[in-house]
Protein backbone atom coordinates (compact mmCIF):
# COMPACT_ATOMS: atom_id res chain seq x y z
CA UNK A 1 0.00 0.00 0.00
CA UNK A 2 1.25 3.46 -0.86
CA UNK A 3 2.17 6.02 1.75
CA UNK A 4 -0.42 8.79 2.02
CA UNK A 5 0.40 12.39 2.96
CA UNK A 6 -2.53 14.72 3.51
CA UNK A 7 -1.61 18.34 4.19
CA UNK A 8 -4.08 21.04 5.17
CA UNK A 9 -2.94 24.64 5.55
CA UNK A 10 -5.18 27.09 7.37
CA UNK A 11 -7.18 29.77 5.53
CA UNK A 12 -6.22 29.03 1.91
CA UNK A 13 -8.62 30.53 -0.62
CA UNK A 14 -9.18 28.64 -3.84
CA UNK A 15 -8.55 31.71 -5.97
CA UNK A 16 -5.13 32.35 -4.41
CA UNK A 17 -3.63 28.88 -4.87
CA UNK A 18 -1.54 30.20 -7.77
CA UNK A 19 0.71 31.75 -5.08
CA UNK A 20 1.71 28.15 -4.24
CA UNK A 21 4.12 27.17 -6.99
CA UNK A 22 4.73 23.54 -5.95
CA UNK A 23 1.10 22.77 -5.10
CA UNK A 24 0.12 24.33 -8.44
CA UNK A 25 1.96 21.50 -10.22
CA UNK A 26 -0.66 19.09 -8.79
CA UNK A 27 -4.05 18.51 -10.43
CA UNK A 28 -6.42 21.14 -9.10
CA UNK A 29 -9.96 20.70 -7.85
CA UNK A 30 -12.40 23.02 -6.19
CA UNK A 31 -13.59 21.79 -2.79
CA UNK A 32 -16.50 22.99 -0.67
CA UNK A 33 -15.79 23.01 3.05
CA UNK A 34 -18.01 21.34 5.62
CA UNK A 35 -17.85 24.36 7.94
CA UNK A 36 -16.70 27.98 8.17
CA UNK A 37 -13.77 27.93 10.59
CA UNK A 38 -11.01 25.67 11.78
CA UNK A 39 -12.44 23.35 14.43
CA UNK A 40 -15.73 22.22 12.85
CA UNK A 41 -14.17 22.17 9.39
CA UNK A 42 -11.18 20.02 10.32
CA UNK A 43 -13.53 17.81 12.37
CA UNK A 44 -15.70 17.28 9.28
CA UNK A 45 -12.62 16.52 7.13
CA UNK A 46 -11.10 14.09 9.64
CA UNK A 47 -14.38 12.27 10.21
CA UNK A 48 -15.68 12.62 6.61
CA UNK A 49 -18.94 13.48 8.35
CA UNK A 50 -21.24 16.47 8.83
CA UNK A 51 -21.57 15.34 12.41
CA UNK A 52 -17.99 16.55 12.89
CA UNK A 53 -19.08 20.05 11.81
CA UNK A 54 -22.25 19.99 13.91
CA UNK A 55 -20.46 18.89 17.06
CA UNK A 56 -17.16 20.66 16.26
CA UNK A 57 -15.28 17.57 17.34
CA UNK A 58 -13.95 14.36 15.84
CA UNK A 59 -15.93 11.21 16.62
CA UNK A 60 -15.60 7.59 15.51
CA UNK A 61 -15.06 6.35 12.91
CA UNK A 62 -12.33 8.89 12.20
CA UNK A 63 -10.22 8.95 9.07
CA UNK A 64 -7.17 7.93 11.12
CA UNK A 65 -9.10 4.96 12.54
CA UNK A 66 -10.11 3.86 9.04
CA UNK A 67 -6.51 4.03 7.77
CA UNK A 68 -5.33 2.24 10.89
CA UNK A 69 -7.81 -0.58 10.24
CA UNK A 70 -6.50 -0.79 6.69
CA UNK A 71 -3.02 -1.53 8.06
CA UNK A 72 -1.50 1.94 8.10
CA UNK A 73 0.69 3.53 10.74
CA UNK A 74 -1.04 6.85 11.37
CA UNK A 75 0.67 10.15 12.19
CA UNK A 76 -1.14 13.43 12.92
CA UNK A 77 0.66 16.73 13.55
CA UNK A 78 -1.18 20.03 13.85
CA UNK A 79 -0.13 23.35 15.31
CA UNK A 80 -3.65 24.65 15.98
CA UNK A 81 -5.26 24.79 19.45
CA UNK A 82 -8.51 23.84 17.71
CA UNK A 83 -7.22 20.31 17.16
CA UNK A 84 -6.59 19.59 20.82
CA UNK A 85 -7.11 15.95 21.84
CA UNK A 86 -9.94 17.14 24.11
CA UNK A 87 -11.95 17.55 20.88
CA UNK A 88 -11.18 13.99 19.83
CA UNK A 89 -8.70 14.86 17.09
CA UNK A 90 -6.11 12.33 18.27
CA UNK A 91 -8.45 9.32 17.87
CA UNK A 92 -6.93 6.65 15.65
CA UNK A 93 -3.50 8.27 15.36
CA UNK A 94 -0.55 6.18 16.52
CA UNK A 95 1.45 9.39 16.81
CA UNK A 96 -0.41 12.65 17.53
CA UNK A 97 0.85 16.09 18.49
CA UNK A 98 -0.87 19.45 18.40
CA UNK A 99 1.76 21.56 20.17
CA UNK A 100 -1.02 23.22 22.10
CA UNK A 101 0.03 25.82 24.62
CA UNK A 102 3.71 25.28 23.95
CA UNK A 103 5.40 26.58 27.07
CA UNK A 104 2.09 27.53 28.65
CA UNK A 105 0.32 24.33 29.59
CA UNK A 106 1.35 23.28 33.04
CA UNK A 107 2.44 26.78 33.99
CA UNK A 108 0.45 27.14 37.23
CA UNK A 109 1.11 30.87 37.60
CA UNK A 110 -0.26 31.66 34.17
CA UNK A 111 -3.23 29.37 34.67
CA UNK A 112 -3.97 31.00 38.01
CA UNK A 113 -3.52 34.51 36.60
CA UNK A 114 -5.72 33.77 33.60
CA UNK A 115 -8.74 33.59 35.90
CA UNK A 116 -8.56 37.30 36.57
CA UNK A 117 -9.35 39.77 33.83
CA UNK A 118 -7.24 42.55 35.30
CA UNK A 119 -4.13 40.43 35.69
CA UNK A 120 -4.60 39.05 32.20
CA UNK A 121 -4.89 42.56 30.79
CA UNK A 122 -1.69 43.64 32.51
CA UNK A 123 0.02 40.49 31.29
CA UNK A 124 -1.10 41.28 27.76
CA UNK A 125 0.30 44.81 27.99
CA UNK A 126 3.73 43.27 28.23
CA UNK A 127 3.04 40.31 25.99
CA UNK A 128 0.19 41.36 23.73
CA UNK A 129 -1.94 38.63 22.14
CA UNK A 130 -0.64 39.61 18.73
CA UNK A 131 2.93 38.92 19.80
CA UNK A 132 1.82 35.68 21.44
CA UNK A 133 0.90 34.36 18.04
CA UNK A 134 4.60 34.14 17.32
CA UNK A 135 4.52 31.28 19.85
CA UNK A 136 2.59 29.11 17.44
CA UNK A 137 4.85 26.44 16.03
CA UNK A 138 6.36 27.83 12.81
CA UNK A 139 5.61 25.77 9.73
CA UNK A 140 9.30 24.98 9.14
CA UNK A 141 9.50 23.34 12.59
CA UNK A 142 6.24 21.50 11.99
CA UNK A 143 7.66 20.16 8.74
CA UNK A 144 10.97 19.20 10.43
CA UNK A 145 8.95 17.22 12.98
CA UNK A 146 6.77 15.71 10.26
CA UNK A 147 9.78 14.50 8.27
CA UNK A 148 11.26 12.87 11.40
CA UNK A 149 7.95 11.35 12.52
CA UNK A 150 7.29 9.97 9.05
CA UNK A 151 10.80 8.57 8.53
CA UNK A 152 10.82 7.00 12.03
CA UNK A 153 7.90 4.72 11.13
CA UNK A 154 7.88 1.84 8.70
CA UNK A 155 5.28 1.83 5.94
CA UNK A 156 2.62 2.07 4.91
CA UNK A 157 2.11 5.43 6.59
CA UNK A 158 -0.86 7.83 6.62
CA UNK A 159 0.19 11.28 7.74
CA UNK A 160 -2.06 14.31 8.23
CA UNK A 161 -0.54 17.73 8.87
CA UNK A 162 -2.24 21.03 9.61
CA UNK A 163 -0.06 24.09 9.01
CA UNK A 164 -0.88 27.39 10.71
CA UNK A 165 1.60 29.77 9.05
CA UNK A 166 -1.11 30.88 6.62
CA UNK A 167 -3.52 31.98 9.38
CA UNK A 168 -3.87 35.70 10.04
CA UNK A 169 -2.00 37.80 11.05
CA UNK A 170 -0.08 36.97 7.91
CA UNK A 171 3.63 36.52 8.43
CA UNK A 172 5.76 36.69 11.53
CA UNK A 173 8.25 39.25 12.83
CA UNK A 174 9.48 41.88 10.37
CA UNK A 175 7.70 40.05 7.59
CA UNK A 176 4.24 40.34 9.14
CA UNK A 177 1.29 42.52 8.23
CA UNK A 178 1.72 45.52 10.57
CA UNK A 179 -0.35 44.98 13.70
CA UNK A 180 -2.41 48.15 13.20
CA UNK A 181 -3.45 47.07 9.69
CA UNK A 182 -4.37 43.57 10.88
CA UNK A 183 -6.48 44.96 13.75
CA UNK A 184 -8.11 47.55 11.49
CA UNK A 185 -9.09 44.83 9.02
CA UNK A 186 -10.61 42.79 11.83
CA UNK A 187 -12.43 45.52 13.74
CA UNK A 188 -12.84 48.53 11.40
CA UNK A 189 -12.32 47.40 7.80
CA UNK A 190 -13.99 50.57 6.47
CA UNK A 191 -10.91 52.49 7.66
CA UNK A 192 -8.46 50.48 5.55
CA UNK A 193 -6.70 52.45 2.81
CA UNK A 194 -6.08 50.97 -0.62
CA UNK A 195 -2.41 50.59 0.37
CA UNK A 196 -3.44 48.71 3.55
CA UNK A 197 -5.59 46.35 1.50
CA UNK A 198 -2.75 45.71 -0.89
CA UNK A 199 -0.39 45.01 2.01
CA UNK A 200 -2.80 42.40 3.38
CA UNK A 201 -3.14 40.47 0.13
CA UNK A 202 0.59 40.74 -0.63
CA UNK A 203 1.52 39.38 2.80
CA UNK A 204 -1.12 36.68 2.39
CA UNK A 205 0.40 35.56 -0.90
CA UNK A 206 3.83 35.50 0.73
CA UNK A 207 2.59 33.25 3.54
CA UNK A 208 1.09 30.90 0.95
CA UNK A 209 4.37 30.84 -0.93
CA UNK A 210 6.31 30.04 2.25
CA UNK A 211 3.88 27.25 3.18
CA UNK A 212 4.22 25.91 -0.35
CA UNK A 213 8.03 25.75 -0.09
CA UNK A 214 7.65 23.79 3.16
CA UNK A 215 5.26 21.32 1.53
CA UNK A 216 7.76 20.81 -1.29
CA UNK A 217 10.55 20.23 1.26
CA UNK A 218 8.36 17.69 3.05
CA UNK A 219 7.60 15.73 -0.10
CA UNK A 220 11.29 15.81 -1.12
CA UNK A 221 12.52 14.72 2.31
CA UNK A 222 10.24 11.86 3.31
CA UNK A 223 11.60 8.40 2.97
CA UNK A 224 8.96 7.20 0.53
CA UNK A 225 9.36 6.28 -3.10
CA UNK A 226 5.86 7.04 -4.32
CA UNK A 227 3.70 8.87 -1.80
CA UNK A 228 0.15 9.89 -2.60
CA UNK A 229 -0.07 13.57 -1.68
CA UNK A 230 -3.18 15.70 -1.23
CA UNK A 231 -3.29 19.36 -0.25
CA UNK A 232 -6.36 21.27 0.95
CA UNK A 233 -7.57 23.81 3.48
CA UNK A 234 -10.17 24.18 6.23
CA UNK A 235 -11.73 27.43 4.91
CA UNK A 236 -10.75 30.56 3.03
CA UNK A 237 -10.51 34.14 4.24
CA UNK A 238 -12.44 37.23 3.19
CA UNK A 239 -10.72 40.29 1.83
CA UNK A 240 -13.41 42.90 2.19
CA UNK A 241 -15.80 41.51 -0.44
CA UNK A 242 -18.85 42.19 1.76
CA UNK A 243 -17.04 44.53 4.11
CA UNK A 244 -15.52 41.69 6.15
CA UNK A 245 -11.98 40.49 6.57
CA UNK A 246 -10.52 37.09 7.41
CA UNK A 247 -12.74 34.38 8.94
CA UNK A 248 -14.72 35.31 11.99
CA UNK A 249 -16.58 32.30 13.39
CA UNK A 250 -19.09 34.35 15.36
CA UNK A 251 -20.47 35.81 12.10
CA UNK A 252 -21.37 32.32 10.79
CA UNK A 253 -20.72 33.41 7.22
CA UNK A 254 -20.89 30.85 4.39
CA UNK A 255 -19.84 32.95 1.39
CA UNK A 256 -17.80 31.32 -1.36
CA UNK A 257 -14.59 33.12 -0.30
CA UNK A 258 -14.80 31.15 2.95
CA UNK A 259 -16.26 27.85 1.76
CA UNK A 260 -14.32 27.26 -1.47
CA UNK A 261 -10.82 25.85 -1.03
CA UNK A 262 -8.26 24.11 -3.21
CA UNK A 263 -8.05 20.33 -3.31
CA UNK A 264 -4.78 19.49 -5.07
CA UNK A 265 -3.49 15.96 -5.67
CA UNK A 266 -0.22 14.64 -7.08
CA UNK A 267 -1.56 11.32 -8.30
CA UNK A 268 -5.23 10.87 -7.50
CA UNK A 269 -7.90 11.42 -10.07
CA UNK A 270 -10.98 13.11 -8.61
CA UNK A 271 -14.25 14.25 -10.15
CA UNK A 272 -15.28 17.88 -9.83
CA UNK A 273 -17.00 19.34 -7.97
CA UNK A 274 -16.44 17.87 -4.56
CA UNK A 275 -16.71 18.43 -0.84
CA UNK A 276 -13.59 18.36 1.35
CA UNK A 277 -15.39 15.52 3.16
CA UNK A 278 -14.72 13.44 0.04
CA UNK A 279 -10.93 13.65 0.31
CA UNK A 280 -10.49 10.88 2.90
CA UNK A 281 -12.97 8.40 1.35
CA UNK A 282 -11.31 8.88 -2.07
CA UNK A 283 -7.84 8.33 -0.59
CA UNK A 284 -9.06 5.27 1.31
CA UNK A 285 -10.72 3.89 -1.83
CA UNK A 286 -7.49 4.42 -3.76
CA UNK A 287 -5.45 2.30 -1.31
CA UNK A 288 -8.12 -0.40 -1.11
CA UNK A 289 -9.50 0.40 2.35
CA UNK A 290 -13.09 -0.06 3.42
CA UNK A 291 -15.06 3.18 3.62
CA UNK A 292 -17.10 3.34 6.85
CA UNK A 293 -20.87 3.38 6.29
CA UNK A 294 -21.23 6.28 8.75
CA UNK A 295 -19.27 8.66 6.53
CA UNK A 296 -21.04 11.37 4.54
CA UNK A 297 -18.00 11.91 2.36
CA UNK A 298 -17.95 9.89 -0.87
CA UNK A 299 -15.27 8.25 -2.95
CA UNK A 300 -15.36 10.71 -5.88
CA UNK A 301 -12.64 9.11 -8.00
CA UNK A 302 -15.25 8.04 -10.53
CA UNK A 303 -18.59 9.46 -9.47
CA UNK A 304 -18.99 13.21 -8.95
CA UNK A 305 -20.92 14.70 -6.08
CA UNK A 306 -24.08 16.57 -7.04
CA UNK A 307 -24.69 18.56 -3.87
CA UNK A 308 -22.95 19.60 -0.70
CA UNK A 309 -23.56 21.21 2.69
CA UNK A 310 -21.63 23.74 4.72
CA UNK A 311 -22.59 23.90 8.39
CA UNK A 312 -21.46 27.00 10.29
CA UNK A 313 -21.99 26.60 14.05
CA UNK A 314 -21.04 29.07 16.75
CA UNK A 315 -22.29 28.70 20.30
CA UNK A 316 -25.47 26.77 19.69
CA UNK A 317 -26.65 28.75 16.63
CA UNK A 318 -25.88 27.63 13.10
CA UNK A 319 -26.04 28.85 9.53
CA UNK A 320 -26.39 26.14 6.90
CA UNK A 321 -25.67 26.41 3.17
CA UNK A 322 -26.80 23.75 0.71
CA UNK A 323 -25.69 23.88 -2.91
CA UNK A 324 -25.84 21.83 -6.06
CA UNK A 325 -23.09 24.00 -7.59
CA UNK A 326 -25.64 26.04 -9.56
CA UNK A 327 -27.99 27.05 -6.78
CA UNK A 328 -27.05 27.85 -3.20
CA UNK A 329 -29.64 28.00 -0.43
CA UNK A 330 -28.70 29.52 2.92
CA UNK A 331 -30.56 29.30 6.21
CA UNK A 332 -29.09 31.87 8.56
CA UNK A 333 -28.73 31.60 12.36
CA UNK A 334 -30.92 28.57 12.85
CA UNK A 335 -31.40 25.92 15.49
CA UNK A 336 -29.81 22.95 13.73
CA UNK A 337 -29.64 19.33 14.78
CA UNK A 338 -28.96 16.06 13.01
CA UNK A 339 -31.03 12.91 13.51
CA UNK A 340 -29.54 9.60 12.45
CA UNK A 341 -30.76 6.14 13.37
CA UNK A 342 -33.09 7.69 15.93
CA UNK A 343 -30.26 9.55 17.66
CA UNK A 344 -30.25 13.35 17.76
CA UNK A 345 -27.00 15.27 17.58
CA UNK A 346 -27.07 18.95 18.52
CA UNK A 347 -24.71 21.76 17.69
CA UNK A 348 -21.85 22.17 20.14
CA UNK A 349 -22.48 24.29 23.19
CA UNK A 350 -19.91 26.41 24.93
CA UNK A 351 -17.78 23.63 26.38
CA UNK A 352 -14.32 25.13 26.16
CA UNK A 353 -12.26 25.91 29.22
CA UNK A 354 -10.88 29.37 29.86
CA UNK A 355 -7.29 28.64 28.96
CA UNK A 356 -8.15 27.28 25.54
CA UNK A 357 -10.66 30.09 24.98
CA UNK A 358 -7.89 32.60 25.57
CA UNK A 359 -5.72 30.95 22.94
CA UNK A 360 -8.60 31.15 20.50
CA UNK A 361 -9.10 34.85 21.31
CA UNK A 362 -5.42 35.31 20.58
CA UNK A 363 -6.06 33.90 17.13
CA UNK A 364 -8.85 36.44 16.61
CA UNK A 365 -11.84 34.29 17.56
CA UNK A 366 -13.64 37.13 19.28
CA UNK A 367 -16.77 36.29 21.19
ZN1 LIG B 1 -8.70 27.58 10.08
* Cis amide bond preceding 272, omega within 30: no
For residue 234, the CA-to-ligand 1 centroid distance in Å is: 5
Phi, psi of 234 (to 5 degrees): -90, -25
For residue 105, the CA-to-ligand 1 centroid distance in Å is: 22
Tell me how far the alpha carbon of residue 208 is from its chain's centroid.
Answer: 14
Band (161; pLDDT cuts 50, 70, 90): very high
Domain ranges of the chain: 4-362
92 within 8 A of 65, measured Cβ to Cβ = yes
Contacts of 140 (CB under 8 A, 6+ apart): 214
For residue 9, the CA-to-ligand 1 centroid distance in Å is: 8
* pTM strictly above 0.85: yes
pLDDT, tens only, 39-82: 999 999 999 999 999 999 999 999 999 999 999 999 999 999 89
For residue 225, the CA-to-ligand 1 centroid distance in Å is: 31
Average pLDDT over residues 134-153: 91
Closest Cα to residue 37, out of 280, 315, 339? Answer: 315
153 within 8 A of 95, measured Cβ to Cβ = yes
For residue 118, the CA-to-ligand 1 centroid distance in Å is: 29
For residue 38, the CA-to-ligand 1 centroid distance in Å is: 3
For residue 164, the CA-to-ligand 1 centroid distance in Å is: 8
CA distance 222 to 217: 9
For residue 45, the CA-to-ligand 1 centroid distance in Å is: 12
Average pLDDT over residues 205-218: 98
318 within 8 A of 347, measured Cβ to Cβ = yes
Q: What is the predicted pLDDT for the residue at 316?
A: 86
Query: Regarding the domain with residue range 4-362, which homologous superfamily does it belong to in the CATH classification?
Result: Alkaline Phosphatase, subunit A (3.40.720.10)
For residue 288, the CA-to-ligand 1 centroid distance in Å is: 30
Amino acid sequence: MRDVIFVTADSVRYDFVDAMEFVSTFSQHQGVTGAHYTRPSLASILTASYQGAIESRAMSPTVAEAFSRTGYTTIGLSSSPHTDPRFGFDAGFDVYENYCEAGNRGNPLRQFASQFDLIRKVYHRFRPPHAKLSNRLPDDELIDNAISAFNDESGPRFMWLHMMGTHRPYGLGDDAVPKEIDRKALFAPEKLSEADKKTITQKYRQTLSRADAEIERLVDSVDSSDPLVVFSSDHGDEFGEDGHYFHQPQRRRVVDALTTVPVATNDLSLCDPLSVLDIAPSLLGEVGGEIPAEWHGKDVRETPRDQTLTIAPWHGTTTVAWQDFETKIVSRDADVSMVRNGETVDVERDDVDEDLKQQMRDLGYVE
